[in-house]
Amino acid sequence: MTFSESKEFSVHSSSLKEIRNFAREILAKDNIFKSTSDDVVLALAEAAQNIVKHAYSGQETSDSLKVEISFNNNQLTIDLYDKGMPAIPTNIKPRNVDDIKPGGLGTFFIGQIMDEVMFKTSATDWVNHLILIKNY
Amino acid sequence: MTYKITEDGNIATVHLDGEIDMDVTEKAKEVIMPLIEGGKEVHLNLKEVQYMDSSGISVLIESHQKAAELGSRVVLKEISKSVLKVIMMAKLEQILIIE
């Protein structure tokens, strides 16, 4: 099985549910994703939330972000593209989970759920390109 | 997200329903915090919460910490399987009060 589907969404917290539903519909297409679907949807939603919160600092914008979900060679790849402030990958670290305080858990969740997380710099129309990979 | 509040003596139970993400956390805090600040012991019934992300978890931590600061407590009740999984991923099952 191979597939690749993409969709653009407004950069706004109200888009998060649409993004989750977009991913849920795709992952419901094959039983291979059944046991991990909720986790993958959470990781994607956390990454999208980081775009709204950090790449745009919660500011109103007419920009879109793009989500692309692909499956090939038993590898699920989620690409997120945005035009917010350039991310500095070395500054993006999960907080110590033993430090009990509100906030900062999203990156920790992404790292727990996905097998690979990376930023890619390439000549595209977008500023940031985050790639999340899960192997099946 | 929708909610319903029932009160019995000093205990206020907030029944949350739906998906709790960044888009609704302010609304959730507006519901929960005044009850804590009013001296109530707050029970959060999470049976009908199908999804919770890190923003929702932050609301649980803030509520727990605010209640502890005021000598009260927030108790999580009937947590749905999907929410419990996220609480455990955050390693909070020993920190938050779960009954």
- Would you call A49 and B92 a contact, using CB atoms and an 8 Å cutoff? no
- Would you call B21 and A97 a contact, using CB atoms and an 8 Å cutoff? no
Tokens of B52: 């919770």
A34 in contact with B, Cβ within 8 Å:
no
pLDDT, mean over chain B: 97
B contact test, residue of A11, A13, A113 with most B CBs within 10 A = A13
Residues of B in contact with A39 (CB under 8 A): 85
Return the pLDDT at A123: 61
Would the pLDDT of B11 be above 70? yes
pLDDT in tens, A12-27: 999 999 999 999 999 9
pLDDT in tens, B32-77: 999 999 999 999 999 999 999 999 999 999 999 999 999 999 999 9
pTM (2 decimals)?
0.94
Residues of A in contact with B85 (CB under 8 A): 38-39
Asked if this assembly's ipTM is beyond 0.90, the reply is yes
- First-to-final CA distance of chain B: 22
Return the pLDDT at B58: 95
Rounded Cα gap, residues B60 and B58, in angstroms:
5
Return the pLDDT at A87: 86
Sheet strands (E) in chain B:
2-8, 11-20, 41-52, 74-77, 97-98
B95 in contact with A, Cβ within 8 Å:
yes
Rounded Cα gap, residues A47 and A68, in angstroms:
13
| A35 to chain B: closest CA residue | B82
Residue A49 phi/psi, 5° resolution? -60, -40
What value does the mean pLDDT take over residues B69-93?
97
Return the pLDDT at A124: 75
B33 in contact with A, Cβ within 8 Å:
no
- Nearest-5° Cα angle at B36, B32 to B42: 70
Count of beta carbons in the 10 Å neighbourhood of residue A121: 10
Contacts of A5 (CB under 8 A, 6+ apart): A26, A68, A69, A70
Rounded Cα gap, residues A49 and A44, in angstroms:
9
Question: A-B interface: how many C-beta pairs under 8 angstroms?
Answer: 62
- Would you call A101 and B23 a contact, using CB atoms and an 8 Å cutoff? no
A35 in contact with B, Cβ within 8 Å:
no
For residue A116, the cross-strand partners are A133
In order along its 136 residues, chain A shows pLDDT tens digits of 999 999 999 999 999 999 999 999 999 999 999 999 999 999 999 999 999 999 998 889 999 999 999 999 999 999 999 999 988 877 777 667 677 777 779 999 999 999 999 998 766 789 999 999 999 9
Amino acid at B21: D
- Nearest-5° Cα angle at A129, A44 to A122: 160
